[in-house]
Amino acid sequence: MSDPSYSLPPIAGSEAALQALMQQAGPVVLPHTTLQLEQIRSGFACALHMHQPTIPAGAQGELISHLQYMLEHPGEGDNHNAEPFAQCYRRLADLLPQLIQEGCHPRIMLDYSGNLLWGVQQMGRHDILEALRFLACDPSVQPHVEWLGTFWSHAVAPSTPIPDLKLQILAWQHQFAALFGQDALQRVRGFSPPEMHLPNHPDTLYELVKALVECGYRWLMVQEHSVETLDGSSLRQEQKFIPNQLVARSSSGEVVSILALIKTQGSDTKLVGQMQPYYEALGLDRQTLGGSRIPSLVTQIADGENGGVMMNEFPPAFLQAHRRIAGQAGSENGNATVALNGTEYLELLEAAGVNASDYPQIQAVQQHKLWQRVGSQPSPDSVQAAITQLQASDSSFSMAGASWTNNLSWVEGYANVLEPMNQLSARFHQVFDPLVARDPGVTRTRPYQEALLYLLLLETSCFRYWGQGTWTDYASEIHRRGVAAIGA
């Protein structure tokens, strides 16, 4: 049964207004940047990913943040790191003003899951909320901080039911706007998929990119091993350091595309924790693209709190790298290596006359094999037949997508989570889609939002990442509550 006293996160109800807001044209960073493209030889863009799942583990079984659970059970596992984690979520609000006051020009991109933002609210951690509000809203740090959109509950795209991809995207936008305002949301133009997990099934990828474009996103961060050129080869080394055009083609032949920045290398947090992208960028030069000479950009993301390197080594390394940049000579000769954020880089390129059509085209990995077999006139039947044939004849072929954790499967061995998840999704859409079609205001009602909450939560990657046991039990309980919320 639904408990009317239970507080729900702001995850739905303003879909049309937010999509209209996000479709507004024009640059969002360019009016504020102090950088000049002709003075830059190379750059680096670092992103920090922050997430804590929501679990049914409160004192009375209520939904709480895993961070709260860690704080309440300090003797379990590495739960003693709960407060250091909490400080990681807010510390950029201290580091950036310090560097700015010293005359530096720091940059950082931030990717916070909706779960985490809601959990911080639930816990009443106003110290973290105020720090994040400063980072999202204060004019003094706007040129320095870029927030990235993501899925609300850290779902992995390839195994998320297709109709729920856009729900996850919109739920995060609702949450962010509710916390920080529509002006702050309007500046969010890049998207960070959880686990850098990019679907390669044509229809899933097409619907993801289509949803991103409809929700106002201009670019997507992708892992280098999750994409390929249109002829099926790996990206050239220099191609990883410029924007690419990710092309998504459905099994019906529909095509949509979005700009992609390539996350290089693996998921080792030491890369960002020790500011490796800066040192790599020092060795790069400009490249010629569409008749222009543009700076190369090293793009990297890591967990912002997980592990000793990020908890302890990142702050001094971040400060040191930006102080080195401020102290370097030669920027007046166009020889600078600088920190850049993703949207800033793309808007500087656009202002310099580089067109989206100038960027090389890429597609999701393994698609060349598929389209080669299907031919130029695809259909859902021919694509499915080709997938079946390739899976039977080519042991390296997979339509499970690719991520920075390719040693882990988000599908194999998790039927006890995936089957209920797919069933709950189907039931949710069976019940609510006709209602919303007749009256879009249904998304503002409590029954809709409560059912949506459990659907989104069940898709959280953590319920599969940590293996069978407590975490799959959490998934079973969320499924049970979701079924009850949707009703018969």
Residue range 7-37, pLDDT digits in tens: 899 999 999 999 999 999 899 999 999 899 9
Q: What is the pLDDT of residue 487?
A: 85
Q: What is the pLDDT of residue 266?
A: 65
Average pLDDT over residues 164-183: 98
442: pLDDT strictly greater than 50 = yes
Q: What is the pLDDT of residue 1?
A: 36
| Cβ contact 477:32 at 8 Å | no
pLDDT more than 70, % of the chain: 93
The span from the CA of 220 to the CA of 193, in Å, is 8
- Report the chain's terminal Cα–Cα distance, integer Å: 11
Output the pTM of the full model.
0.95
**Would you state the structure tokens that stand for residue 472, as one six-digit string?**
């799959």
The span from the CA of 224 to the CA of 124, in Å, is 39
Mean pLDDT of the chain: 92
The span from the CA of 353 to the CA of 240, in Å, is 21
Which amino acid type is present at position 398? S
| Cβ contact 28:189 at 8 Å | yes
Longest Cα–Cα distance in the chain: 70
Residue range 247-295, pLDDT digits in tens: 999 999 999 999 999 999 766 667 898 999 999 999 999 999 988 899 9
